[in-house]
A and B are shown apart, each in its own frame.
Chain A
Amino acid sequence: MFTTPATAGEHAAASVRAGLTRQDRDVAGMAMLATLLFTTLVTLFILVALLAQVIGESSSLLGERGVDFVTSPIGSDPDKIGVWSGLYGSIFIGVFVVLVAIPLGLAAAIYLEEYANAKHRLTRLIMVNIRNLAGVPAVIYGVLGFILFTQWLEPVTNGQSVIAAGLTMALLVLPIVVITSMEAIRAVPGSLRDAGFGVGASRWEVTRDHVLPYAAPGILTGTVLSVARALGEAAPLIIIGAITGLLPETSLTGKFTAIPILIYQWTGRPKPPNSEFAFTESAAAAGLVLLVIVLVFNASAVLLRNRFEKSRVGS
């Protein structure tokens, strides 16, 4: 006859408990986490190294010349050159993006979200087309701008001018403006629209008085990001024909340049034998100016978004 020992139950309980609470090192899991942490840290380190390089190489030049570097025109003497000509071009490129790409992109987004029948074939075609436009390389927009704005529309732009550059950049960021605005408009609750229609408002009135104010923070964020993108692009400007050598005066209709073009040019130039500073130091300083502008834009976009979102929850 078989009998179970009195301790069998205790043994079983103990072994199950041990199995569940065993301090088994999860070596594979820890290696995985270590690898992921490493890749993330390297990604962050790249940004730190980039900032350190830009600040490090520009510090002595900016320390000695300071504001003089920002207000001086371009030229051939690295001890005297500055970013003013480029800053002028970049500012007006930003202005054209705000004046052209934002209204156009916002209107297209309003049509696609508020007016168009999303299932209609034409609507779907427009949406696919916008997503593809967002993926077209910047240099291709340069080719388009070169033909469209410096040749066909020469009476308007006066050829290779900052107007042509600004309009080209406006087309470049147009798909980004449309996509971010559409996302912002889509996030507006449908009940808001229904309430508007319910009291007899027309579609445009609902859009203007309810949808757009509610979506404004998101639209604004997309707007600011697209301006930042336009300010940093260089490739289309090379195709359009930005000036790299001498630019005695800056004007809307004359020859132009922009900060990214200056960085590109100065990075590749050797140091003249008798000068105090190297061209690469000017490139770093111009890079710092551009980084500050672009990062201020990016940061303010994020802050704006957070602030509006907070106040909306409170209201």
Chain B
Amino acid sequence: MLTVADLQGSSKQRNRERTMRVVVQGAAVVTMVVSVLIFFVLARGAYTFLDEIDWDFAVLSDLGWFPRRSRFDLRTILVGSVVMGGVAMVVAVPFGLGAAIYLSEYAPARVRKVVKPVIEVLAGVPSVIVGYFVVRFIAPEFVSKIFDPTHDRNMLAAGVGIGILVIPIMASVSEDALRSVPNSLREASYGIGARKINTVLRIVLPAAVSGLVAAFIIAISRAIGETMVAVMAGGFDGSGPYSGAWPTNPGLTMTTAMTNAVGGTDQDVGGAPFQVLFFVGLILFTITLLLNVIGDRFVNRIRQQY
């Protein structure tokens, strides 16, 4: 007679099965631990920072970012991040979206086969090399010649560089959204005599809108979190006065403030100028997390729709 014991396999097999389940489950749990640790490290350090400045919130709105003089004006670094991120989006949206629409709706298969890998190569270029490219080419040959700023390194030049880094993300997420629009919509549009341009502008783009919004939000999140280009081309390397929101002025971002907090001797000295690393990190983490969660919602929406 056949019993359960005959079907359940050898005990060796069952033991190995149990071990492997624990191993792979443990690996999945590690990813959760990483998140918890990030939050714990940032929150603990941010608390220490606020303790160091004796919960005196006035130093967080004293104009200018001079950590060594206990002036941590959040507006200076927030405005810098927003301006550079804004410039980056002005660059990335038209070029990224344009390339996405061309690849998804217009490009013949042969052209697509060449152009798409090239954009993927651009996505693989390290940000520090784009930073070098901005400092040595974009800033002196392009931004300075057109806008005539007082310094070669400014928020506009850095923003353009961050935009270059964000173009491939914008392009690939948008293209995914456009390609997930079912062909039946396009065919129906052609069937009632619509031209290509009307089909693309009035049928495909509106149908893909939540995916395009997702691309936009994810791109902003990347732009705000980008570090090297802002550090190398932003103008101020770690401390500076509030110089206004005009893009041709030099500026500081949250990420620049963070890299500067560990630079030089502050790391050994400790205290508020170093602990601010965690405080700014927590703000940056919260902003990008919110943007990513919202972006994720929009991505899921277009997935459910089609």
Interface size on A, residues (CB 8 A): 90
The chain B residue sitting closest to A288, CB to CB, is B129
Determine if A291 and B41 form an interchain contact, defined as CB atoms under 8 angstroms apart: no
Q: How far is the CB of B43 from chain A (nearest CB, A)?
A: 12
Per-position binary interface string of chain A over residues 109-129, scored 1 when its CB falls under 8 Å from any chain B CB and 0 otherwise: 011101110000000011011
Instruction: Check: A188 CB closer than 8 A to any chain B CB.
Output: no
Determine if B225 and A137 form an interchain contact, defined as CB atoms under 8 angstroms apart: yes
Determine if B31 and A133 form an interchain contact, defined as CB atoms under 8 angstroms apart: yes
Instruction: Check: A215 CB closer than 8 A to any chain B CB.
Output: no
The chain B residue sitting closest to A32, CB to CB, is B197
Per-position binary interface string of chain A over residues 146-161, scored 1 when its CB falls under 8 Å from any chain B CB and 0 otherwise: 1110000000000000
Determine if B258 and A239 form an interchain contact, defined as CB atoms under 8 angstroms apart: yes
Given A39-B99, A44-B118, A132-B293, the answer on whether A140 and B128 have CB atoms closer than 8 Å is no
Given A50-B125, A108-B27, A135-B221, the answer on whether A43 and B167 have CB atoms closer than 8 Å is yes
Instruction: Check: B204 CB closer than 8 A to any chain A CB.
Output: no
Per-position binary interface string of chain B over residues 122-159, scored 1 when its CB falls under 8 Å from any chain A CB and 0 otherwise: 10111111111101110000000000000000000000
> Out of A228, A229, A235, which one reaches B259, CB within 8 Å?
A235
Interface residues of B in 55-97 (CB under 8 A from A): 94-97
The chain B residue sitting closest to A302, CB to CB, is B117
Instruction: Check: A284 CB closer than 8 A to any chain B CB.
Output: yes
Determine if B258 and A234 form an interchain contact, defined as CB atoms under 8 angstroms apart: no
Instruction: Check: B185 CB closer than 8 A to any chain A CB.
Output: no
Q: How far is the CB of B237 from chain A (nearest CB, A)?
A: 8
Could you tell me the distance between the alpha carbons of A219 and B178 in the complex, rounded to whole angstroms?
26
Which residues of B are found within 8 Å of A267, using beta-carbon distances? 131-132, 135-136, 232
The chain A residue sitting closest to B285, CB to CB, is A140
Instruction: Check: B115 CB closer than 8 A to any chain A CB.
Output: yes
Instruction: Check: B25 CB closer than 8 A to any chain A CB.
Output: yes
Interface residues of B in 10-37 (CB under 8 A from A): 13-14, 16-17, 20-21, 23-32, 34-35, 37
The chain A residue sitting closest to B129, CB to CB, is A287
Given A107-B23, A126-B32, A139-B259, the answer on whether A26 and B197 have CB atoms closer than 8 Å is yes
Per-position binary interface string of chain B over residues 196-219, scored 1 when its CB falls under 8 Å from any chain A CB and 0 otherwise: 110011000000000000000010
Determine if B171 and A43 form an interchain contact, defined as CB atoms under 8 angstroms apart: yes
The chain A residue sitting closest to B262, CB to CB, is A239
Which residues of A are found within 8 Å of B31, using beta-carbon distances? 108, 126, 129-130, 133, 174-175, 178
Instruction: Check: B231 CB closer than 8 A to any chain A CB.
Output: yes
Determine if A284 and B136 form an interchain contact, defined as CB atoms under 8 angstroms apart: yes
Instruction: Check: A35 CB closer than 8 A to any chain B CB.
Output: yes
> Out of B16, B32, B94, B277, which one reaches A39, CB within 8 Å?
B94
Per-position binary interface string of chain B over residues 37-63, scored 1 when its CB falls under 8 Å from any chain A CB and 0 otherwise: 110011001000000000000000000
Instruction: Check: B109 CB closer than 8 A to any chain A CB.
Output: no
> Out of A36, A112, A260, which one reaches B128, CB within 8 Å?
A260
Q: How far is the CB of A61 from chain B (nearest CB, A)?
A: 14
The chain B residue sitting closest to A139, CB to CB, is B227
Which residues of A are found within 8 Å of B119, using beta-carbon distances? 43-44
Instruction: Check: B302 CB closer than 8 A to any chain A CB.
Output: no
Could you tell me the distance between the alpha carbons of A100 and B217 in the complex, rounded to whole angstroms?
31
> Out of A54, A105, A144, A200, which one reaches B129, CB within 8 Å?
A54
Determine if A298 and B121 form an interchain contact, defined as CB atoms under 8 angstroms apart: yes
Given A29-B196, A130-B31, the answer on whether A115 and B132 have CB atoms closer than 8 Å is no
Which residues of A are found within 8 Å of B136, using beta-carbon distances? 53, 57, 267, 280, 284
Could you tell me the distance between the alpha carbons of A202 and B231 in the complex, rounded to whole angstroms?
53
Per-position binary interface string of chain B over residues 157-188, scored 1 when its CB falls under 8 Å from any chain A CB and 0 otherwise: 00000001001000100000000000000000
Which residues of B are found within 8 Å of A284, using beta-carbon distances? 132, 136
Per-position binary interface string of chain A over residues 227-243, scored 1 when its CB falls under 8 Å from any chain B CB and 0 otherwise: 01101111100110100
Q: How far is the CB of B9 from chain A (nearest CB, A)?
A: 6
Q: How far is the CB of A295 from chain B (nearest CB, A)?
A: 6
Per-position binary interface string of chain A over residues 20-61, scored 1 when its CB falls under 8 Å from any chain B CB and 0 otherwise: 000000101100110111111011101101100110010000
Given A267-B232, A290-B129, the answer on whether A148 and B37 have CB atoms closer than 8 Å is yes
Which of B34, B137, B218 has the most chain A CB atoms inside 10 A of its CB? Answer: B34
Which residues of B are found within 8 Å of A36, using beta-carbon distances? 98-99, 101-102, 106
Given contacts A133-B34, A234-B128, 17 further A-B contacts (CB under 8 A): A26-B197, A32-B200, A32-B201, A38-B98, A39-B99, A47-B121, A53-B137, A54-B129, A54-B133, A104-B27, A106-B27, A108-B31, A126-B31, A135-B221, A139-B225, A232-B125, A295-B124
Q: Give the A-binding residues of B (Cβ under 8 A).
A: 9, 13-14, 16-17, 20-21, 23-32, 34-35, 37-38, 41-42, 45, 94-99, 101-103, 106-107, 115, 117-122, 124-133, 135-137, 164, 167, 171, 195-197, 200-201, 218, 221-222, 224-228, 231-232, 237, 255, 258-259, 262-263, 267, 277-278, 281, 284-285, 288-289, 291-293, 295-296
Q: Give the B-binding residues of A (Cβ under 8 A).
A: 26, 28-29, 32-33, 35-40, 42-44, 46-47, 49-50, 53-54, 57, 103-108, 110-112, 114-116, 125-126, 128-133, 135-144, 146-148, 171, 174-175, 178, 200, 202-205, 207, 225, 228-229, 231-235, 238-239, 241, 260, 263-264, 267-268, 280, 283-284, 287, 290-291, 294-295, 298, 302
